[in-house]
Amino acid sequence: MTPLRLTASLALTLSLVSHGLHAETAIILNSVDESVSFVDTRSYQETGRAPVCKEPHHLMAMPDDSAVIIACAVSNELVFLDPRTGKELKRIKNISDPYQIGFSPDKTWFVTNSLRLDRVDLYRAADFSLAARIPAAKTPSHMAFDKASQFVFITLQDNNEVLAIDLKTRQPAWRHPVGLTPAGIHMTPDDRYLLVGIMGADYVEVIDWRARKTVTRIVTARGAHNFLPRGDGRHVFVSNRTINGSISLVDMQDLRVVERYDVPGGPDDMEIRADGKELWATARFARKVQVVNLEQKQLSHSIRVGRSPHGVSFINHAPRQ
Amino acid sequence: MNAFLTDLFISTQGWLFDRLVQPVLFALGLAGYVEMGFEGIEFVLMGILELGIAYTVLRPLEAFWPAERWRNRRAVRVDVMYTLLNRLGIIPLAVFTLLAPAFMALDGWLRFHDVIPRQLEDWLPGLDTHPLASFLIYLLILDFAEYWRHRLSHTLGGWWALHGIHHSQRQMSFWTDSRNHLLDDLIAGIWFAGLSLLIGVPPGHFIGLLVTLRLVENLSHTNTRLGFGRFGDYLIVGPRYHRWHHAIDLPEGEAYRHGCNFAILLPVWDVLFGTLHLGAKLPATGIHEDSPDAMAARDDFWGQQKLGLILMWRALAPRRRRSGAT
């Protein structure tokens, strides 16, 4: 091999290695377009788009990050994608109308909410076999678990309630009234409070779930919708989903808003980079993914994706705490 | 250009949502419906866009190459009203409001009994990742169903009493497509949306399928001499083809007792089921009204609504009497 060829070959190898080390794909779910978009997190460009299934709503990474699961509400299935490449790994059929999905912390249960059909299904996480189908009127939306995996807590959007289901008895345990149109729900790291996004108003309702009592309200902004922990065990982001929306950062110890970022277009689902420098949010009403630079505390990139983007995931994310 | 138009569409949708829909929904405590409200605006904007395209393309055809020349277009006004009610989402919203709860209740009941209705993709798994093929297959199925809905509306006396309103227009234009009795619209909406839900039409396809069929229907009602030629008329329904469907005097023959050329998009259904008629001339359109009321109602929206119900009542009444006597 001539020195010139050797140099060229080394340069190419270094380039590929460098690309492999840093290039990373964000997977964005486009609900109305029924597709997933792939976005290069370095160039902030959409690099591809692929059809996925009928009316996908929400995605989540497997607890071990081995796959990203997409919940396909109308085609009654789960689609598993490679979190690095976005390549389809497998499909599981006959998962009835999955809208929101989640694993219990002990990884025993895989829970699906059927918003359309007023029902919560419990599947055994090991093999996704159905264990129980529980009526949950009306419009079960988001979910959270306690640390012991004894309960799953579900917001009932049109009933203005939180429903607790006992995972041991597989029966509803209690209901607790909350504000107008509850959406996202999140357990604080100390396992003490449930935070509920009150989408019909402008606050997060804080519930002492053991006492079944609302203890306070944290005012964020109109359309308080969804949660994502920052990964530091103390703070959580709250998306305020309106057309001129925003994202609030809430201190879960002091129960107060510490920062707020303007994020237009109806910010909904979020993902945060492992280094904590960037927050990505799907803007449902703008067909965009919005990237917030958390050091500069402002929007840094708007990336065009498909219609009604409803979920974002990348492998290099901060811990879910 | 494409990106500019997309941006314009999205920003218009966002502006309308922000100024008109979102504040009302929040004020009424209906925040859970914001996504539906946002998509509803898209539906209305698509209707406006569709009308814009139809007007831009089809109106010149009517002006410069008409099948009939009219002294004035006064009779068309009522059809414009029907079109606005339809394309601005008022009639589709009513259909949706009536249909959705019943369908959800049925679907929910089935799921609780461990029945997940089979969908086309369960038999053809590859369709999941081939949206164009999936779109075309669903279009074919829905067009087939539309052929039979249309044919039945001519065959069943009670239904024809309603559908006759559509045919009573003697100045048929591209606006006439939406001239339908509201109850006829409701039945058609339940037929189309019910079948779509039953066979699992992807929600993302729904507007596209609807717009495709509606644009072809606008075209086929246009007052123009345009035809697609000897072979083209077998491929897609056009103005010359559909004009025979609206002919005031039907072609002779038992096959055409209730009408001819019922196809909405693809003439193949008329070929297969023996209802095709390709005539050389351009017939006059309308129906032979047999009462002064019917003639008076020809250009009157509320008169047509009332007349449709009365005629339907009369068409169904004899049967009730017969069944009461036995």
A-B C-beta contacts closer than 8 Å? 100
For chain A, the domain total comes to: 1
Domain membership flag for residue A25: yes
Contact residues, A window 21-50, toward B, CB-based 8 Å cutoff: 32-34, 50
Answer for the pair A37, A51: CB distance below 8 angstroms, yes or no.
no
Whether A86 is in a domain gets the answer yes
- The answer to whether residue A24 is domain-embedded is yes
**A216 in any annotated domain:** no
**B35 vs A284: CB contact, 8 Å cut-off?**
yes
Identify the residue among B42, B111, B137 best suited for mutation to test binding to A, counting A beta carbons within 10 A and taking the highest: B111
Closest by Cα among A81, A78, A76 to A37: A81
| Per-residue pLDDT, B190 | 87
Q: Does residue A15 sit within a domain?
A: yes
- Determine, yes or no, domain membership for A52: yes
> A53 and B128 in contact by Cβ < 8 A?
yes
Torsion sign (Cα): B66, B70, B75, B81 = positive
CA distance B89 to chain A (A): 19
Q: What is the pLDDT of residue A129?
A: 96
Set of chain B residues whose Cβ sits within 8 Å of the Cβ of A242:
18, 22
Closest CB to A34 among B104, B119, B204: B204
Q: What are phi and psi of A279, to 5 degrees?
A: -115, 130
Q: What is the pLDDT of residue A120?
A: 96
**CA distance, residue A226 to nearest chain B CA (Å):** 13
Q: Is residue A311 part of a domain?
A: no
Q: List the single residue in B with minimal CA-CA distance to A158.
A: B32
- Closest CB to A133 among B34, B112, B130: B112
CA distance to partner chain A, nearest, from residue B322 (Å): 43
Does this complex have an ipTM over 0.85? no
Chain B: residue whose CA lies nearest to A121: B112
For chain A, residues with pLDDT lower than 70 are 1-23
Interface list for B 87-146 with A (CB within 8 A): 104, 107-108, 111-112, 116, 119, 121-122, 128-131
Q: How far is A34 from chain B (nearest CA, A)?
A: 6
B202 near A CB under 8 A: yes
B300 Cβ under 8 Å from any chain A Cβ: no
Give me the CATH number covering residue A78: 2.40.10.480
Q: DSSP string of A117-170?
A: TTEEEEEETTTTEEEEEEE--S-EEEEEE-TTS-EEEEEETTTTEEEEEETTTT
Nearest neighbour of A287 by CB, restricted to B10, B17, B204: B10
Question: Are the CB atoms for A277 and A293 separated by under 8 Å?
Answer: yes
B287 in Cβ contact with B168 (< 8 Å): yes
What is the rounded CA–CA span in Å between residue B118 and residue B12?
38
pLDDT at position B120 is 84
- Is A31 among the domain residues? yes
CA-atom Rg of chain A in angstroms: 20
Token pair 């699992």: residue? B200
Choose from B5, B110, B113, B116 for mutation: most chain A CBs within 10 A: B116
Task: Assess B38–A contact: CB distance below 8 Å, yes or no.
Answer: yes
Nearest residue on chain A to B32, judged by CA atoms?
A: A181
Q: What is the pLDDT of residue A13?
A: 41
Q: How many Å apart are CA B237 and CA B4, to the nearest integer? A: 33
Interface with chain A: mutation pick from B2, B15, B24, B35, highest number of A CBs within 10 Å: B35
Distance CA B178, CA B175 (A): 6
Residues of chain A in contact with residue B6, where contact means CB-CB under 8 angstroms, are 287
pLDDT, position A14:
43
In whole angstroms, give the CA distance from residue A247 to residue A267.
Answer: 7
Q: Do A32 and B203 touch (CB under 8 A)?
A: yes
Each residue's pLDDT expressed in tens, for chain B with a length of 326 residues: 677 888 889 889 988 988 888 888 888 878 778 888 888 898 889 989 999 999 999 999 999 999 999 988 889 999 999 999 888 877 777 777 777 778 778 877 887 777 887 788 888 877 877 888 989 999 999 999 999 999 999 999 999 999 999 999 999 999 999 999 999 998 998 898 888 888 888 877 888 898 899 999 999 999 999 888 888 999 999 999 999 999 999 998 888 989 999 999 999 999 999 999 998 899 999 998 777 777 777 788 999 999 999 999 999 886 555 544 43
Domain housing A53 = 1-93
